Chain A
Amino acid sequence: MGLSRREFIKRTAALTAASYAGLSLPISNEDYSAHASDADSWHKGTCRLCGSGCRLELEVKNGKAVALRGIPQSRTNMGYLCMKGMLFYKLMGNNHPERLKKPLYRARKDQPFREISWDRALDIASKEFAKTVKKYGNNSVAYYGSGQAFTEETYIFQKVMRGGLKTNNVEGNPRLCMASAVGGYVTSFGADEPIGSYSNFERASCFFIIGSNTAEAHPVLFRRIMRRKMDNKDTVKVINADPRVSPTSRIADLHLQFAPGTDLALLNAMAYVILEDKLYNEDFLKNYADFRMGKKKKKVSLQKYMAFIKDYTPEKVARICGGNITADKIRKAALWFAKSEGTMSLWTMGINQRSRGVWANNLIHNLHILTGQLCRPGADSFSLTGQPNACGGVREGGGLCHILPAHRLVKKNKLRHQVERLWGIPEGRIPPKPGYHTMAMFEAVNEGKIKAIWINCTSPAQSLPNCDKYRKGMRREDVFIVVSDIFPTKTTELANLILPTAFIFEKTGVYGCTERRSQLTVKAVNAPGEAKPEVWMVREWALRLSKELNDPVIKKCVEPFMGKEPDYELPKAIWEEYTQKLTKGRDNDLSGATYEVLEKLPDGVQWPAPTKQWALKGGTDIKFVRGLDPLADKYAKNDLPYQFYGPAHPDRKLWIWLRPQKGPAEMPDSKYPFYLSTGRIIDHWHTSSMTGRIIELMRANPYAYVEVNPKDAERLGIKPGDMIEVVSRRGRNILPAKVYVGPCEGMVFVYWHDEDENRMINRVTKDAFDPGSKEPEFKICACRIKRVSGPRPLKPFLVHMKA
C-alpha cells in the first residue's frame, strides 16, 4: 500500500500501453482502485487534428480537461494517438488564455476591434448580408467553410445559404485538399469515397503509397501499416513513390523517387507492364470494367487502351521521371502491385494537389481495376483525407458549390427539387447553377463581385495559394467579412466581425473520417467566455435575416430547430433531419446512425447504414459487395458478387481512363530553376493557429524551413541554418535551410504552417488549379533560391489579437 497518486498514474500509463499492444506486465493497479474513483468523468470523442478519426476519451476534473487516453475498441486507431492528439486538450475550455471569448467588431478594416454583445453581432451580420443581397443580388454573398466543422454545422450553413439566401456560393477548404479525390472516385467508380476501410491495413500484402507522407501526416494509420509490414517482413511489400524521401520511406521495400509532375507517366508505365506481362484480371475486366476517354467520356475498347498505353514503356518513362527511377523498378512495382493477395494504394495531397489531380487519381484507380485489386480483403484504392470532417461534413453534407447534401448534384433538377421538397421550401428556391468554387470565390472577392462572406473555422488568408493576390481582395473596405473561429488568424486580421466559437468537446457534433465512418463527440467542458457553437449562431442569424429581407422561407429553413438548446438538442435535431430525410435512400445512407446508436459505439458507423441494426454493427466495411453491403443486395441487377451501384455510372461499370502524362502548370526554367513543393510536419497542422499555441509543439518546430538537397546545397554554397531566399513569380520568403536528403536534386520543400510573413510559403506558391476538380496545384511551382546570409536568430510568430 502507500502507492502515491503519481505512482498510480504511472502504472495506469504502463498498463494502458501494454493492454493496447497485447502485452501483460507483472504489475497491477487493482489494489488501488480508490485512486480511480477520485478521478473524474471520461468523455468519448474524436481527435481534431487530422482526417484519421482517432477516438479517445477525455478526462474532466473540476470542469477542466486534464488527461486523455485512446479507445482500444475503436476501429480507427485501436487506442493509439499521436503527439498532436496527446496535447490538443490544452486548447479546450479555459485551458488556453488566447481563446477568442467575445464577439469583436469594426466597421472599417483599418480600425481596431472592439467587443460587442452577441445580439449586436448577429444584428450586424444579418443587416450586412441583407443589405448586400438587396443591393447586389443573391450571388454577392458567400459562405466559406471547413473540413473541421461538424457535419451539423456545414449542413445548416449550406441550408440557409441555398434555401434561404438563394445562392450556391457555398464552399469549403476541402476544395484545397480532396476535391481531386472526389473527382477521381466519381469518374472511375461512379461514386465518391473509398470502397474499403482501414480494416484493409491488416489484410493487405502490398502497400502502394504515392504522394503521401503518411508517417507524419497520418501517424496513427501509419502505425497500422508499419505493424503489418513488421509482422510480415518477407511477404508484405511496401512501395513508396514520392519525389521526396520522407519518414514514410523508412519502411519501404522500394522507393520510387520521380521528378515532380511525372506521376501520370509513372502510373501509366505500371499499367503498361500489367498489360504487357498479362498481369491483369481478365474476368474482373470482363464483368466490371469499361474504357473511357476525353471530355465526352467516350467509350473505347481494350485495344484502343492498349494502343494508348504503348507510349509508356518503362524505359521511356524512366527517362521522363528522372530521379532514381529505372525501368526495372517500374516493372518490379507493377509486378508486386498486380500479384499480391491484396494491394492497397494510399495517397493524399501529393496526388490531389496537382493541376491534373483528377487524372492522377484515375490512373491509380486504373491499376486497381486492371488487376481486380478491389472489393476483396486487403485490396483497395484508398485516398487519405487531411481534415477530420472533409468527408463527412463537406463531401457528404453539401459543403461545396456544386453538391447538395448526400451526393446530389446542384445541376440535376430532380435532385435539387428533391432537396427543396425535403426542406419544405418552394420549388425553384435553390438556384440551378453551381456557385463559385473556392478559387473563383476569392477571385470574385478580388473583383468586388462578392461583397459579404462568412468564413468559418479556416484561414484562407494563409491557406490559399498565391495568397497575397487574394488578401488584396479581402482587404477591400467594400467587402464585409465575418470570421468565426477559436483563435486569431491571418484571416481574422482581415475581418470586420469575429465570432468566437466553441471547440471540439465544448459542443456536440459528428465528424466523418476518411473511411466513411461518422463518429459523435458530445460536449464535455464549457467553452470559454461567450464562445458559442456555430449551429446556434446560424439559427439566430437566419431568423434575423428572415426579418431583414422580409422572407419567411429563410425562417422556414431553421424552423425545425427552433427552441432547442444549443449544446446537444440542436445539433441532434439537425443530424436527424440530415440523416433521416436527406441521406435516406442515397448511397451514403446514414439513417441507421442516430445519436443514440452513435453514443453506444466506441467509434462510429460506416455508411451505407440504412438500419439501426446494421449501424450498431458499425455499418459497411466494404461497399459494393453482396452480403457485405446492404445496398449491393438491394440494388443487385445480376448474380455477380460485386454491384457497382454508384449514382454517376448508370452502366454500373468501373471506368478505366485514358489519361496522358501532363506536367505541372509551371515548369522550372532558366530564371526559376527549382521545383518548389510544400507540405506538413508532424507537430503542426495546417496554418498552426492551434498547434502553434501548444507550446510543446511550437518549441519542437518554431518556424518553417526550406529543405535543400545536399548536392544543390553544395553547388550553391548553402550550409544548414543559412538564411535562404525562395522566390517565385508571385512572391518571396526568407527561411532557414535544412540540408537534407529529402527532396530530390533540383527540388526544394517548405512546410506551410508558419504565420510569419517571411516564412508563409503560400505567398510563393502558384494558384493554378485542376480544370475538373478546381483544386490548386500547391505541390509544384517553379522558384529560385539564393543564400542571403548565415544563420540568424529567429522567433516563432503567431497572430495575436491587438488589445
Chain B
Amino acid sequence: MPVGGFVINVDPERIEESVHRLESVEGVEIHGSDNKGNVVAVMESSTSSEMEAMVKAIMAIETVYSVALTYFNGEDEVERGRDGV
C-alpha cells in the first residue's frame, strides 16, 4: 500500500472548486491549502500503478497546473516484491 505526499498547484482563483474535485478522487486526502493555490494531499492506493492513475486523473483536471511529489513510501510493495519490483 504505497503512500505519497504531494503538493498540487491549482488555479488560485478556483481553489475551492479545485479542492472539491480533488477530494472526489478516491484515495486522495486533502490536508490543507493556501491562497496561492498550494494544496497538500496524501494519496494512498493498493499499488503504485493505481497511484500513477490517480495522478493522471488529477492532472486532467483543468484547474490543476502541476502535481509535485515530496515524499513516497513503497516499503510494503518492495517487501512483497510484487507489481514488477
The reply to whether B49 and A21 contact each other, CB–CB distance below 8 Å, is no
CA distance A775 to B31 in the complex (A): 48
The reply to whether B69 and A696 contact each other, CB–CB distance below 8 Å, is no
Closest-by-CB residue of B relative to A247 is B59
Q: Which of A64-72, A169-177, A364-372, A398-406 contacts B (4 or more CB under 8 A)?
A: A64-72
Q: Determine which residue in A18, A61, A87, A696 has the highest number of CB atoms from chain B within 10 A of its CB, and name it.
A: A696
Interface code B46-79, partner A: CB below 8 Å = 1, 0 otherwise?
0111011101100000000111111111110011
The reply to whether B72 and A17 contact each other, CB–CB distance below 8 Å, is no
Least CB distance, B49 to chain A, in whole angstroms: 4
The reply to whether A10 and B72 contact each other, CB–CB distance below 8 Å, is no
Q: Is there a chain B Cβ closer than 8 Å to A83's Cβ? A: yes
CA distance A14 to B66 in the complex (A): 17
Least CB distance, B27 to chain A, in whole angstroms: 11
User: Interface size class for chain A?
Assistant: 35 or more
The reply to whether B65 and A230 contact each other, CB–CB distance below 8 Å, is yes
The reply to whether B5 and A251 contact each other, CB–CB distance below 8 Å, is no
CA distance A448 to B77 in the complex (A): 49
Task: Give the residues from 1 to 44 in chain B that come closer than 8 angstroms, CB to CB, to chain A.
Answer: 1, 3-7, 9, 11-12, 29, 31-34, 36-38, 40-42, 44
- What residues of chain B lie closer than 8 Å to A27, measured between beta carbons? 31
Given the known inter-chain contacts A14-B42, A21-B38, A696-B51, please indicate yes or no for A66 contacting B1, CB distance below 8 A.
no
Closest-by-CB residue of B relative to A215 is B66
Task: Give the residues from 742 to 780 in chain A that come closer than 8 angstroms, CB to CB, to chain B.
Answer: none
Q: Which of A23, A65, A66 contacts B32 (CB 8 A)?
A: A23
Interface code A708-745, partner B: CB below 8 Å = 1, 0 otherwise?
00000000000000000000000000000000000000
The reply to whether A219 and B83 contact each other, CB–CB distance below 8 Å, is no
- What residues of chain A lie closer than 8 Å to B32, measured between beta carbons? 18, 23-25
- What residues of chain A lie closer than 8 Å to B85, measured between beta carbons? 90, 95-96, 695
- What residues of chain B lie closer than 8 Å to A223, measured between beta carbons? 9, 66, 68
Q: Which of A74-82, A205-213, A514-522 contacts B (4 or more CB under 8 A)?
A: A74-82
Q: Is there a chain B Cβ closer than 8 Å to A422's Cβ? A: no
CA distance A59 to B7 in the complex (A): 21
The reply to whether A696 and B49 contact each other, CB–CB distance below 8 Å, is yes
Closest-by-CB residue of A relative to B64 is A250
6 contacts between A and B (CB under 8 A): A13-B72, A22-B34, A83-B69, A87-B52, A219-B68, A697-B52
17 additional A-B residue pairs with CB within 8 Å, beyond A13-B3, A226-B66:
A6-B1, A10-B3, A12-B5, A12-B73, A13-B71, A16-B71, A22-B34, A23-B33, A64-B78, A66-B78, A90-B84, A90-B85, A96-B84, A219-B68, A223-B9, A695-B85, A699-B49
For the complex of A and B, the 8 pairs showing the least CB-CB separation, nearest first, are A13-B5, A695-B84, A17-B5, A696-B52, A80-B68, A66-B75, A16-B71, A21-B38
Residues of B within 8 A of A (CB): 1, 3-7, 9, 11-12, 29, 31-34, 36-38, 40-42, 44, 47-49, 51-53, 55-56, 65-75, 78-79, 83-85
